[in-house]
């Protein structure tokens, strides 16, 4: 089994240490990316890195946290159109953790202080471009409905950050649930605790290592 790990914005692959250590032995492919360009360019760079890093003759899973889940979803969809991956793509999976598919209200706020930051613009609440393409993707909606995607939603009871709207102290629950056909699973942790939780690691283990994908043939 081979698994691609995509960290959140301004983080590193170290954030997945707990999850990686609590999964069965597997080939770990940690792809780092910088947040100093547009979301589309980041996605294109990560897509190239995935193709160059995985064994294209074997199925793989992409696991992405926060922005990494956004990037992972976009890349996952594009890989379904890649002829080199075609022999195994139907057995590949995607896991997202606390990812803002409806955009980030925090990014909307921060961009007022950094108006020249392209990434904050791209991931702002109801962002366009890559964000819009993901939400409108019939392929991704269908893959979620088929059980090929495990979208894990984080929510916490923070007395300040989540007072106006339920969320994980960074991303609202509504934003995390912006893909209507997906089968969401909720966990009561904040945006970062979800990466350190035993039940989250157990669920990923079950989905990635034991769940069989029905054949379309």
Domain that holds residue 52: 2-210
pLDDT tens digit sequence for 139-154: 999 999 999 999 999 9
Q: Does residue 194 form part of some domain?
A: yes
Low-confidence ranges of the chain (pLDDT < 70): 105-128, 158-164, 211-217
Integer angstrom CA distances of residue 90 from 79, 94, 125, 174, 215: 10, 11, 32, 29, 8
What's residue 166's pLDDT? 80
Q: For 165-199, b where at least 16 C-beta lie within 10 A, e where not — what string?
A: eebbbbbbbebbebbeebeeeebebbbbbbbebee
In whole angstroms, give the CA distance from residue 171 to residue 157: 13
pLDDT tens digit sequence for 2-18: 999 999 998 999 999 99
Q: Does residue 215 form part of some domain?
A: no
As a residue count, the chain comes to 217
Q: Does residue 46 form part of some domain?
A: yes
Q: Does residue 133 form part of some domain?
A: yes
CB within 8 Å of 21: residues ≥ 6 apart: none
CB 65 within 8 A of CB 153: no
Q: Does residue 10 form part of some domain?
A: yes
What's residue 161's pLDDT? 57
What's residue 14's pLDDT? 97
Q: Does residue 162 form part of some domain?
A: yes
Q: Does residue 105 form part of some domain?
A: yes
Domain count, the chain: 1
In whole angstroms, give the CA distance from residue 199 to residue 32: 26
Integer angstrom CA distances of residue 120 from 24, 110, 115: 36, 7, 8
Supply the CATH number for residue 158's domain.
3.40.50.1820
CB 76 within 8 A of CB 138: no
Beta strand extents in 13-100 (DSSP E only):
27-31, 60-65, 93-97
Q: Are strands 93-97 and 149-154 parallel, antiparallel or unpaired?
A: parallel
Is 51 strand, coil or helix? helix
CB within 8 Å of 170: residues ≥ 6 apart: 66, 98, 104, 106, 161, 190, 191
Q: Does residue 216 form part of some domain?
A: no
């Amino acid at each position: 089994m081979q698994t691609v790990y995509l960290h959140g914005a301004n983080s590193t692959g170290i954030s997945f240490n707990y999850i990686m250590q609590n999964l069965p032995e597997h080939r770990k492919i940690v792809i780092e990316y910088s947040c100093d360009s547009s979301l589309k360019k980041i996605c294109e760079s990560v897509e190239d890195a995935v193709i160059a890093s995985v064994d294209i003759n074997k199925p793989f899973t992409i696991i992405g946290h926060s922005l990494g889940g956004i990037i992972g979803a976009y890349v996952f969809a594009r890989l379904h159109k890649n002829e080199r991956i075609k022999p195994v793509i139907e057995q590949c999976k995607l896991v997202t953790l606390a990812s803002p598919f409806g955009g980030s209200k925090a990014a909307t706020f921060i961009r007022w202080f950094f108006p020249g930051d392209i990434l904050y613009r791209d991931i702002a609440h109801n962002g366009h471009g890559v964000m819009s393409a993901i939400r409108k993707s019939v392929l991704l909606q269908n893959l979620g409905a088929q059980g090929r995607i495990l979208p894990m939603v984080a929510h916490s009871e923070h007395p300040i950050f989540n007072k106006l709207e339920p969320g994980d102290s960074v991303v609202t629950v509504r934003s995390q649930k912006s893909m209507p056909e997906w089968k969401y699973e909720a966990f009561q942790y904040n945006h970062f605790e979800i990466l350190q939780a035993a039940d989250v690691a157990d669920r990923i283990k079950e989905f990635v290592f034991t769940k069989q994908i029905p054949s379309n043939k």
